[in-house]
Structure 1
């Protein structure tokens, strides 16, 4: 099989503009289409966005460190994607149901999932860290793109029941090449279901650059399905928030599904089992470091004349508190008993599963009292 070079890939210019409301210096840029979706947003709301992103970055750093220390089996870092996650989830209603991938830790945390419950799955202490119906967010999906189908089906149910909620599916740029995502777009568009497909284009599908799998903007792919689409600067929390508000309103009012491409960058590794230095250049990483979403919001608050130092201190205090509580919870979390692997495979007693459990438990007795 010939090897396709990942260097100098030409990507055709898309037909959609990339909305940006805050430039890198934190200066506000007008946007006729999105500005009115920021109506009512206060300085305190911006300070809350800052706190959320700082806490989320600390959660991500702590989880990465815990994995390196053997406390977690694996972790999928989100460094650099804080604005895309916080800006979008803070625009939703509590009744909207969220279907995340394996990297939406900030989305889950902002929805009310405790950090230790989020990490317990990656520790292997539980198969599901929370009850989805308590916080209206499904458990993280490892199978690439399948959550898009779940969201489409849920959205069709909302449509048939006459509800006003929206189903929101999160996925990365790589998932847009999966059949599941494309099939979900077909069903959602055909039935005009209230679904928001939110793509965090972090430039890399593991080691594959986005330009290799999509020779045009990802947003153009969604437009091809007849879905109303926005493309935004994913490191601009205001642009993400406003576009999500617009997309949700469109879907909520019976106008059909929507799609957002949030253009951001995965500053860390794909997972803690990945070495990104093998496939990307330091120069590119540094270019994106200058677009840091937290720094940009700090710059904006400074431009507004806000008491930035107090907001930063509040955010740091919240991050320190979460980090201490999270580390205590994870390092003292008991391991599950072996039989628990079989407890919830079926809703009712299942004879083959019971036999497998008994055989496995009998096998483990061979290692007791000086056995094998």
Structure 2
């Protein structure tokens, strides 16, 4: 089989030079020097947050963390393309999206520390909490978008997932339902080239964006390390969804610079040369080179950005260490939206079990 060559959308080259693309440059015509500096600030801050959380896990303060270093542009560019009313369904690596949606860094680690079922109230930022079940969020997003369409809401729903999730049945079902019902879902695939240790080429013989054609939806492949290109593509995809034109598939080509999670050792399955090649395409360095090439920044700006990143990281660390240990019975809270008899019985049974220990304060388990 001959696979047709695809060319991902690109607006900034790795060396910082701009690329004029008639189909997409106009979509970011409003992004001037101030907006470019804001995007750079986002990229630096979220990389620092990721490093801080990884360090916390290594220090035994978090049970697990899913690093996203290398994927900053894919997440920041897409998140900054969304409106406040749009709704985000996340997987487990979209910490940068959470930052852009307004999630407090102090609320980002409760789930990973084992202190709560969730870290933030989704209704406050229109973004769900991390979803560990691979691909399940595709169906959640599709159902939400179907409901929004029935309600007449002119919003876009976006769902984030990795290349590995495209091999899950849930994601295929979501793609099929979204097309059949004309649901306004932006399927945003961060193809970071590794589904844990399985490379993309063993999952699909064709670019993942081409899979969307089989379901009958438009798709675009974008350079996921180019924040401006991702912003332009996602703006168009979100507008497509809001206008009632149905779902849209975006494949952002990026690279996971670190491990799949902090329990993974990527050195066992990928070559150091591959990592070095992708370091040359680093999304943070790329935007910095553009800013410097066009004389849009000075040393004071970079100092200010580094200070902001340090402040955000300190807030994440302090928030993590100050999280209280949850009472055992809180595991039954928020399982259902309203009280459920099954949960009530389970709570009572577990309370009785805890009270059976002679050294347990009865008041503490009520």
TM bin, normalised by shorter chain, reads over 0.9
**What is the distance in 2 between the residues matched to 1:192 and 1:314?**
45
Contact 2:79-2:97 at 8 Å conserved across structures:
yes
Contact 2:219-2:250 at 8 Å conserved across structures:
yes
**What is the distance in 2 between the residues matched to 1:366 and 1:265?**
52
1:102-181 matches, cutoff 5 A: 102-181=92-171
**What is the distance in 1 between the residues matched to 2:339 and 2:26?**
55
- Residue 61 (1) aligns with residue 51 (2): yes
**How far is the alpha carbon of 1:369 from its aligned partner?**
3.9
1:295 aligns to what SS in structure 2?
Answer: helix
Label 1:27 to 1:362 Cα distance change in 2 as closer, same or farther (>3 A): same
Q: Counterpart of 1:35?
A: 25
Q: Counterpart of 1:3?
A: none
Label 1:363 to 1:37 Cα distance change in 2 as closer, same or farther (>3 A): same
**What is the distance in 2 between the residues matched to 1:352 and 1:195?**
34
- Residue 281 (1) aligns with residue 271 (2): yes
**What is the distance in 1 between the residues matched to 2:168 and 2:74?**
22
Normalising by structure 1, we get a TM-score of 0.93
Label 1:70 to 1:305 Cα distance change in 2 as closer, same or farther (>3 A): same
**How far is the alpha carbon of 1:361 from its aligned partner?**
3.5
Q: Counterpart of 1:88?
A: 78
**What is the distance in 2 between the residues matched to 1:347 and 1:32?**
48
**What is the distance in 2 between the residues matched to 1:168 and 1:315?**
29
Contact 1:144-1:175 at 8 Å conserved across structures:
yes
Contact 2:220-2:250 at 8 Å conserved across structures:
yes
Gaps of 5+ in 1: 1-10
Contact 1:51-1:314 at 8 Å conserved across structures:
no
1:255-274 matches, cutoff 5 A: 255-274=245-264
1:197-236 matches, cutoff 5 A: 197-236=187-226
1:261 aligns to what SS in structure 2?
Answer: strand
Contact 1:90-1:241 at 8 Å conserved across structures:
yes
**What is the distance in 2 between the residues matched to 1:14 and 1:266?**
25
Contact 1:301-1:308 at 8 Å conserved across structures:
no
**How far is the alpha carbon of 1:14 from its aligned partner?**
4.1
Q: Counterpart of 2:234?
A: 244
Contact 1:16-1:219 at 8 Å conserved across structures:
no
**How far is the alpha carbon of 1:345 from its aligned partner?**
2.7
**What is the distance in 1 between the residues matched to 2:4 and 2:344?**
55
Q: Counterpart of 1:19?
A: 9
Label 1:152 to 1:347 Cα distance change in 2 as closer, same or farther (>3 A): closer
Q: Counterpart of 2:293?
A: 303
**What is the distance in 1 between the residues matched to 2:74 and 2:132?**
20
Is the deviation greater in 76-85 or in 35-44? 35-44
Instruction: Report the number of matched residues.
Output: 361
**How far is the alpha carbon of 1:194 from its aligned partner?**
1.1
Contact 1:12-1:217 at 8 Å conserved across structures:
no
Q: Counterpart of 2:327?
A: 337
Normalising by structure 2, we get a TM-score of 0.94
Q: Counterpart of 1:186?
A: 176
**How far is the alpha carbon of 1:124 from its aligned partner?**
1.1
Label 1:193 to 1:344 Cα distance change in 2 as closer, same or farther (>3 A): closer
Is the deviation greater in 169-178 or in 189-198? 189-198
Contact 1:19-1:239 at 8 Å conserved across structures:
yes
- Residue 72 (1) aligns with residue 62 (2): yes
Is the deviation greater in 241-250 or in 84-93? 241-250
Is the deviation greater in 137-146 or in 264-273? 137-146
Contact 1:117-1:129 at 8 Å conserved across structures:
yes
**Root mean square deviation, CA, Å:** 1.8
2:108 aligns to what SS in structure 1?
Answer: helix
Contact 1:15-1:220 at 8 Å conserved across structures:
no
Is the deviation greater in 74-83 or in 354-363? 354-363
Contact 2:108-2:316 at 8 Å conserved across structures:
no
**How far is the alpha carbon of 1:217 from its aligned partner?**
0.3
2:238 aligns to what SS in structure 1?
Answer: helix
Gaps of 5+ in 2: 361-366
